Amino acid sequence: MAESTSSPVFDAEKVTVIYVLGGPGAGKGTQCSKLVDAFGFCHLSAGDLLREEQNREGSQYGEMIRTYIREGTIVPSHVTMKLLENAMTEEMKKKTGDGWVDGRGRFLIDGFPRKIDQAIGFDETVCLASLVIFFNTSEDVMLQRLLERAKTSGREDDNVETIRKRFRTYNEQTMPVIEHYRTLNKVAEIDSTAAVEEVYHAACATVTNLFS
């Protein structure tokens, strides 16, 4: 094993990583799917990868992930980082088109990093992030959206008790991540209270600016 000074798996000069952060129900997934269509990103949802792993037959992490998700707390960093790294490696092998030639790639990573150690660990060992898009809105708006989603999502964490726990975890552990990147001048904050299209136009402008 190389010493800790070893470089990240992916070169940030070639691979663009944008973290998409915001509280539960801030609209991250909705906006990511629209940005994928516009810019040819690969969208990786940390939560989706964890849920897939929890249900994968023979997974060594499945039961542990299920417990953390049910409690509204954060899965240990090494697990999430490894799942993301593996998913990025797979996408780099198979994706083609604009932004995906000569070892290049572009990723929207949604719902990660949720803690400072994840942020620093991923930047140092997997890929240095270029930007954080922070979708910000009130807890009231997020709660309404999540309860609406709960009618059809089938997600076991879409219930009022777990949602409240997720808000608390987010405020205590993820907001410091956003502040960390703010000090590095890497945060684009977007008010996601507005209509989906309005939020999307602001997000598009942010990404266009990064790539220009």
Annotated binding site for a ribonucleoside 5'-phosphate: 51, 73-75, 111-114, 118, 155, 166
- Nearest in space to 133 (alpha carbons), one of 72, 194, 210, 42: 210
Residue with tokens 């708006």: 141
Q: Which residues are annotated as a binding site for ATP?
A: 25-30, 149, 194
What ranges in 95-138 are assigned the alpha helix state H? 116-125
What ranges in the chain are assigned the alpha helix state H? 28-39, 46-55, 62-71, 77-94, 116-125, 139-153, 160-169, 175-183, 196-211
CA 59 and chain centroid, separation: 22
- Compute the distance between CA of residue 79 and CA of residue 65 in angstroms, rounded to an integer: 9
